[in-house]
Structure 1
């Protein structure tokens, strides 16, 4: 399905003013450092789409016809097994992030993974060819794209290391520390199913490890809220 056709669950929203779109683009790391005039040109080329929770943004194998910039909500990028019975979460994308930008520059641009909204989300979209033309003529943007590609490659290498060379307890500990650093204590933990998909395991093992950490006094749990109590002990577990 071409990306110019709205998927089920995707709604066109009332657009923000040009000044607000420009401001949101300025908060997106890949566009930081651009001149105001460049940001305005980008903003003029963007349109908004709203995706309800659970809606697909794109599917593995779809042609890449646009650039996606998340400005509200949360998206999950995931890879499915050939039989469709297994999924591994590659990224959880938060606002002011380009989503699957690597695919834009492939020789035969199709999405190598799928993406869905795990919250009601709003995405700014721009025609792929128009974006590539801007990259070609803007050295600052081109350098930002290179840094983005390098960072994503590093994240992928880290994901492979975590999935294939670390025990489940180590993966869970690292995830708790990352969430605590980003959100502070009392953060809301994703569902066990979502964590299992992200960490390459099953929900039962996630539940078991969280219970172990709680009984050992490493964390405090209230429903899905988590407080890290013994950060150094979790750090030791995370590198095992």
Structure 2
């Protein structure tokens, strides 16, 4: 569901989102003029792979995942998205990945060409977009390192730390998991069975507990940080 609303109310001044950081009232107003409110239900595609790369999005509420499908149908989850994340910038004509919501979801939607044209006249906005692109690259490199160097339980601890750092409201005592075990497996380069065994091992070792399927509690944060190599 889309709704057009060019009013300044579309821009959330109450959060320090990377895209909007440091912008003047006038620049925020110019952004509001080209913004649309995108509303999605759970398990809905924001856009799919190979569709025209014409739109970009800044997530306001909910969470989603970024996925890429191979020609043989194999899926790799590239990232999980949370409020404040910006997605959709592309140097190609078509998206090389898709974005699927995990929960109810709202985002500010922009036409990519209009946003980049505005950035040409707003240096801070241009810097923000450049910084976001650099952060995306850094995250991709972190993921490559995790997939290439770490054991299964260490990969899970890396994800736990990432969720604690990025998911609003997440605490070691109450970490919600909106993604499925399959999503986790496709993100960490594991099978679902290996994810289940590794979670059981961490639980058996007293590192975590799992009160319910979609809730995890960190019982030994120091050990999680150690296994994730993020002390």
State the TM-score, normalizing by the size of structure 2.
Answer: 0.89
Q: Distance between the aligned counterparts of 1:14 and 1:137, measured in 2?
A: 24
Q: Distance between the aligned counterparts of 1:117 and 1:219, measured in 2?
A: 27
* Aligned residue pairs, count: 224
Tell me the CA shift for residue 97 of structure 1.
2.1
Gaps of 5+ in 2: none
Distance 1:31 1:239, change over 3 A: same
Superposed structure 1 runs of 4+ greater than 6 Å apart: none
Q: Distance between the aligned counterparts of 1:155 and 1:181, measured in 2?
A: 13
User: 220, 226, 229: which one pairs with 2:219?
Assistant: 229
User: 51, 61, 74: which one pairs with 2:40?
Assistant: 51
In the alignment, what sits opposite 1:210? 199
In the alignment, what sits opposite 1:125? 109
* 8 Å Cα contact 1:56/1:117 also seen in 2: yes
**Residue 23 of structure 1: SS of its match in structure 2?**
coil
* 8 Å Cα contact 2:48/2:95 also seen in 1: yes
State the TM-score, normalizing by the size of structure 1.
Answer: 0.85
User: 163, 167, 188: which one pairs with 1:199?
Assistant: 188
Gaps of 5+ in 1: 1-10
* 8 Å Cα contact 1:80/1:87 also seen in 2: yes
Q: Distance between the aligned counterparts of 2:105 and 2:216, measured in 1?
A: 25
Tell me the CA shift for residue 178 of structure 1.
2.9
Q: Deviations over 1:105-163 (max 9, x none)?
A: x1x33212111111121222122221111111111111111111111111111111111
**Residue 153 of structure 2: SS of its match in structure 1?**
helix
In the alignment, what sits opposite 2:67? 78
Q: Distance between the aligned counterparts of 1:35 and 1:14, measured in 2?
A: 23
Asked if 1:22 is matched to 2:11, the reply is yes
Q: Distance between the aligned counterparts of 1:29 and 1:115, measured in 2?
A: 19
In the alignment, what sits opposite 2:229? 239
User: 82, 102, 114: which one pairs with 1:94?
Assistant: 82
User: 146, 160, 177: which one pairs with 2:130?
Assistant: 146
* 8 Å Cα contact 2:60/2:83 also seen in 1: yes
Q: Distance between the aligned counterparts of 1:204 and 1:148, measured in 2?
A: 34
Tell me the CA shift for residue 181 of structure 1.
4.4
